[in-house]
């Protein structure tokens, strides 16, 4: 009768782990949680699956040392040196938080990021405006330089003409006198 209860509990545990895995995949696919958080939780589900398989094997006496494995199953296998390389430690800021609390924390982080992006956007907009004003000032100064260049060329042409006239007058005056 105890064996039947254990077998039933193990089967129920396996079904619940599978449901948990499906809900996790759904939460990630609908963007209820971030991909990083989904990966972290998937690692935790994988650890649950590993422990479930250890429990089943221990129940059937399939290759596990009964005395050591039974006492250390719920301790994560640390006594046997069995570790899951995919399991990541849960960050301190999310440890012990439920789904709604994690969602709230994620929203708060997103709001902070949005505020930072808004501040960055206003800074970039101001720099764009300054750049446009500098460009306009450069265009005005280029027009002034072009006008000055035209005036200098015009003055240079008149000066050359006057210099030629003076040379002619000087040449005529030396030939007359």
pLDDT of residue 66: 45
pLDDT of residue 100: 82
Task: Identify whether 107 is part of a domain.
Answer: yes
Task: Identify whether 81 is part of a domain.
Answer: no
Task: Identify whether 66 is part of a domain.
Answer: no
Task: Identify whether 127 is part of a domain.
Answer: yes
Helix extents (H) in the chain: 2-29, 35-60, 66-72, 99-176
Q: Cβ distance 59 to 4 under 8 Å?
A: no
pTM score, two decimals?
A: 0.38
pLDDT of residue 69: 47
10-residue stretch averages of pLDDT, the chain, 177 residues long: 84 90 88 84 88 83 49 48 56 74 87 89 92 94 94 95 92 78
Task: Identify whether 159 is part of a domain.
Answer: yes
Give the residue numbers spanning the domain of 114. Answer: 1-61+99-175
Tell me how many domains the chain contains.
1
**Sign of the C-alpha dihedral computed for residues 26, 87, 97 and 37 taken in this order:** negative
pLDDT of residue 146: 94
Task: Identify whether 155 is part of a domain.
Answer: yes
Task: Identify whether 88 is part of a domain.
Answer: no
pLDDT of residue 83: 54
CA dist., res. 66 & res. 102, Å (int): 38
CA dist., res. 92 & res. 100, Å (int): 17
């Amino acid at each position: 009768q105890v064996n039947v209860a254990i077998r039933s509990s193990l089967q129920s545990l396996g079904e619940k782990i599978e449901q948990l895995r499906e809900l996790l995949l759904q939460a990630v696919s609908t963007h209820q949680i971030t991909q990083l958080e989904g990966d972290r939780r998937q690692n935790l589900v994988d650890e649950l699956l590993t422990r479930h398989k250890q429990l089943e094997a221990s129940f059937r006496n399939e290759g596990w040392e009964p005395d050591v494995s039974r006492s250390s199953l719920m301790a994560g296998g640390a006594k046997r040196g069995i570790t899951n390389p995919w399991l990541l430690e849960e960050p301190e800021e999310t440890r012990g938080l439920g789904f709604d609390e994690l969602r709230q924390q994620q929203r708060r982080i997103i709001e902070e990021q949005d505020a930072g992006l808004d501040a960055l956007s206003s800074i970039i907009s101001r720099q764009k405006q300054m750049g446009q004003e500098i460009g306009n000032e450069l265009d005005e100064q280029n027009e002034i330089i072009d006008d000055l260049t035209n005036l200098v060329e015009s003055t240079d042409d008149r000066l050359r003409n006057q210099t030629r006239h003076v040379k002619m007058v000087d040449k005529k005056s030396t030939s007359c006198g």
